[in-house]
Amino acid sequence: MAMILVMGLLSGCANSSFVSRDGPSLGQIKRTTDAGQSALLIEVTDGIARQVSEAYKAAGFAEKFGLGQPYGALIGSGDNLQITLFEAPPALLFGSPQLTGNTMQIGNGQRGTSFPELMVDDAGQVDVPFAGRINVIGRSPREVAAQIVSRLRGKAHDPQVVVNISKDAASAVTIVGEVAATTRMPLTFKGERLLDALAAAGGSKQPVDKVSLELTRGSRHATMALNDLIAQPDQNIYLRPSDVVTISYKSASFTVLGATGRNDEIEFEARGITLAQALGRMGGLRDDRANPRGVFIFRLEDPAALGDAGHNIPVNPDGKIPVIYRINLRDPVSFFAAQRFMMQNHDMVYVTNAPISDVQKFVNIIGAAIYPIVTIQAAGL
C-alpha cells in the first residue's frame, strides 16, 4: 500500500518543472522564439554560416590602403633635398667665379655645384637656384631632376642634375601598444612595411596568436590578427609618414553551459575559431546527457549580418538583435556548417539535455524513494 502511495505521488511529479536541469529544454527555447519574445531563432546551415562569417570578415590592409610603395622613392612635405647641378664645358652658368655653393671640378672639364639642403615647404615646393620654384611633393627625385634640367636649358651648357632626399623626423611612423618599446621609426629608401615596424619596437609582449595589429592612416584604420598578417605576405603593406601602428592584446572568449564535457569560459586566439573548434575545446557533447539536436549559440547580433532575416526585428539599446543560432548535430551535413560558422567574442554555447536524460533522472528519483520501502517489506516489517 505504501509503495502504491509513493508511486502515485511521484507520478504527478514526472514533468519538466520537477526534474532539475542546467537550463531550458529544446522545446522551451523553440516556444520562446516562436512566441516572438525578443529573440530570433535561426537554423545554422552552410549558407547561414557563410553569410554571418563574411559579415564579420573585415577588409585587410591591402584592400583598405593598397600595397603602396617605398616611401623613400617619393618626396614628402618636410623632406630635405640635396641638389647637385653639373654643366659640361664650356661652362656658361657655373663657370662664374661669383657663383655661391660648393663648386667641384670633375672629369672632362665638367663643373658641378651643390647647394645647401632645401626643405620642402607646406605647399610641397622648393626654391631651386636658377630654376625657380618647383612643385616636388609626391614626385620621385628623378622626376624633379628632369624638371630642373628643363628649367636650366638655355642658361647652362648641357646641364645634368642629381637630386637626393635626406629624411627628417617628420617622415616616421609611430608604434604603440603591447610592444617591448614604444617607438618612432624613421622611413628609409628601403621601404619599411608593417612587420618591420613591429620588429623595430622589439616585437610583441604577448603571444602571437593573441595579438592583433591595427594601422591608422589619417581617418582610416584597419585591423588584422597578427597570425593572419604573417600568413598573408600580400597584407604586409608599405608604411607612410605619420602612420600609427597599434599592437593590441585581443582577449576573446565564449561561455559554455549545459550538457557538455566542460562548462567554462573559454578564451580563443585573435584570428578566431569555428564552431567545430569550439565544440572540441569544450570537450564535445556528453553522451549520457546531451541532445545533439539542441546545440545553441546565443549572440547579440549585428543586424547587417542577418540580411533579410533581420528585417523588422526590434533591436536592443545597443543596436543589436538577440539571436539564437541552432545547429542539429544529428545531421552529418551540419558538421560542414560548423566548420564555417565563426565564433564571436561573448558568444554563449548551450547544449540541452536529451529527453531520455530527464527520464533517467526521474527513474533515479523513484528508485531512491522506493528502495527503502522495498527493503522494509522484504524484512517483514
Do 159 and 149 form a contact (C-beta atoms < 8 A)?
Answer: yes
Domains observed in the chain: 23-58+253-358 (3.10.560.10), 61-70+170-249 (3.10.560.10), 77-166 (3.30.1950.10)
Per-residue pLDDT at 250: 83
Per-residue pLDDT at 78: 81
Burial code of 20-55, b = ≥16 C-beta within 10 A, e = fewer? ebeebbbeebeeebeeeeeebebebbeebbeebbee
Q: Please report, in tens digits, the pLDDT of each residue of the chain (381 residues total).
A: 444 444 444 444 444 454 455 666 666 666 665 555 568 899 999 999 999 988 888 789 999 999 998 876 678 888 889 999 888 877 677 665 545 555 555 555 566 788 888 999 989 999 998 899 999 988 889 999 999 999 998 888 888 999 988 766 567 899 999 999 999 998 887 899 999 999 999 999 999 989 999 999 999 999 999 999 999 999 999 999 899 999 999 888 999 999 999 999 999 988 899 999 999 999 999 988 899 999 999 999 988 888 777 666 788 888 899 999 999 999 999 999 999 999 999 999 999 988 754 544 444 544 454 545 545 555 555
Per-residue pLDDT at 371: 47
Per-residue pLDDT at 156: 84
* Residue partners of 364: CB distance under 8 A and separation at least 6: none
User: What are 235-258's pLDDT values in tens digits?
Assistant: 999 999 899 999 999 888 999 999
CA-nearest of 11, 17, 21 to 369 is 11
Query: How large a percentage of the chain has pLDDT more than 90?
Result: 50
Per-residue pLDDT at 98: 47
Q: Please tell me the distance from the alpha carbon of residue 128 to that of residue 373, in angstroms, as a whole number.
A: 110
Q: Please tell me the distance from the alpha carbon of residue 373 to that of residue 327, in angstroms, as a whole number.
A: 45
Q: Which grid coordinates belong to 361?
A: 533522472
Q: Please tell me the distance from the alpha carbon of residue 196 to that of residue 355, in angstroms, as a whole number.
A: 58
Per-residue pLDDT at 110: 60
Do 51 and 318 form a contact (C-beta atoms < 8 A)?
Answer: no
Per-residue pLDDT at 90: 75
Per-residue pLDDT at 314: 80
